[in-house]
Amino acid sequence: MDRGMVGSASRGRLNVEVRREGASAIVRPAGELDHHTAELLREPLEACAEEAGTRVIVDCSELAFCDSTGLNVLLGARLKAEAVGGAIHLAAMQPVVARVFEITGAEAVFTVHDTVDAALVG
């Protein structure tokens, strides 16, 4: 399997890493995703989402917080991915982040997996 690191970026409260595994891109935001840090995730996430047919997995295992701005980044990337035959999958969501998706109803528009490994095969 191709497990090459594609890149990473950090701005205080949020670190974002992107790596490839086969035909999938795995984007791992770690920290707090909010109005002040959303752009740090938006750029690499949308770059992956715009690649035709790519399955983008957002590894939420280290995401400690997500507000409405962060949610909008994920929703926007989902639309871009679907427009080119790809998809955004969420994996390993922490309860505090999962609650935001539950309250807003956004959980209904994403495929959510318990682990990144499950997202890679499912």
Convert the pLDDT of each residue in 104-114 to its tens digit. 999 999 999 99
Mean pLDDT for all residues in the chain: 91
| Predicted confidence (pLDDT) at residue 2 exceeds the cutoff of 80 | no
**Which pLDDT does position 91 carry in this prediction?**
98
Whole-number Å distance between alpha carbons of 52 and 83: 9
Q: Which amino acid is at 22?
A: G
Compute CA 21 distance to the chain's CA centroid, rounded to the nearest angstrom: 15
pLDDT band, residue 4 (cuts 50/70/90): very low
**Which pLDDT does position 122 carry in this prediction?**
76
| Predicted confidence (pLDDT) at residue 5 exceeds the cutoff of 50 | no
Convert the pLDDT of each residue in 16-44 to its tens digit. 999 999 989 999 999 999 999 999 999 99
Collapsed DSSP state (helix, strand, coil) of residue 67: coil
Mark out the alpha helices in the chain (DSSP H runs).
38-49, 68-83, 95-104, 116-121
Convert the pLDDT of each residue in 75-121 to its tens digit. 999 999 999 999 999 999 999 999 999 999 999 999 999 999 999 99
Q: CA of 64: how far to CAs of 23, 43, 76, 118, 120, in Å?
A: 27, 20, 21, 21, 22
**Which pLDDT does position 3 carry in this prediction?**
40
